[in-house]
Structure 1
Amino acid sequence: MKNQMVRLLLGTIVICLATHGLCMGMITNSRCKCAKVTSKLIHPRRWQDVSIFKQGSFCRKVEIIITLKKGRKVCVKPNVQWIQQVISNLNEQATYIKEFTTEESST
């Protein structure tokens, strides 16, 4: 009887942790990545990469992370005008590349 009670208790704890994402958080990388964000302009010459993470069930906000050439990662506010322009330019480039590759493969 005591063994069954311990198993039931452990099972309940595992289920509770799993539903809150605490068990799988490290495996799925399901938490928000940015604790601190900035709206300060970062010159494109300093960028190495731009990553955009859409909102999801575990992080309810859009996150934009700019990796600098020195390796440092900076989170920027997605609603700032200069980053909105960057996103717009990236979307235009992606559309152009998609159209170009589609045209090329159909000929």
Structure 2
Amino acid sequence: MKIQVIFLLLSTIVICLATHGFCIGPITNSRCKCVKVLSRFIPPKRYQQINIFHQGSYCRKVEIVITLKNGKKVCINPEAQWVNRIISFLNKRAERSNEVITEESSTQ
């Protein structure tokens, strides 16, 4: 009798884990913002806004969405070289502007 209870318990756990795993995958992937990503270069003068969505419970990959000045949203490949260069440039520019704000506030 004891072996039957243990077997029933183990099989219930396995079924629950299997069902949970099958449900999480498609739901998680369906919440990603980007279905198709582009790797071709887009000139920065066409950008209105850049959004970076980090990996999380909603999507298992990093997503970068550029909103163009015409309002169109484009998903770009975060692993493309030109993307990394632009992001590092924007980070450096943001750091410089923060330093300027810090210096200005300390002199007042």
Scaled to the shorter chain, the TM-score interval is 0.5 to 0.7
Q: Is the partner of 1:52 in helix, strand or coil?
A: strand
Q: Which structure's residues are more often helix, by fraction?
A: 2
Matched with 2:88 is 88
| RMSD between aligned residues | 2.0
- In the TM superposition, structure 1's runs of 4+ consecutive aligned residues that sit over 2 Å from their partners are none
Partner AA of 1:90 in structure 2: L
1:105 aligns with 2:105: yes
| 1:38 lines up with 2:25 in the alignment | no
SS across alignment from 2:48 = strand
- State TM-score, norm by structure 2: 0.67
1:101 deviation in Å? 0.9
Which of the pair has more CA radius of gyration? 2
CA distance in 2, matches of 1:82, 1:47: 14
After TM superposition, the structure 1 stretch with the greater mean CA deviation from structure 2, 87-96 or 52-61, is 52-61
One-letter amino acid matched to 1:105: S
Within 2, Cα distance between the matches of 1:59 and 1:33?
8
Q: How does 1:1-107 map to 2 (within 5 A)?
A: 31-107=31-107
> Which runs of 5 or more residues in structure 2 are unaligned?
1-19, 25-30
Aligned amino acid, residue 64 of structure 1: I
- Code of the aligned partner of 1:32: C
Q: Deviations over 1:58-84 (max 9, x none)?
A: 212111111111111000000100010
Aligned length: 81
In 2, the alpha carbon distance for the partners of 1:46 and 1:105 equals 33
Provide TM-score, normalisation by structure 1.
Answer: 0.68
Q: Deviations over 1:21-55 (max 9, x none)?
A: xxxxxxxxxx2211110101112222211111111
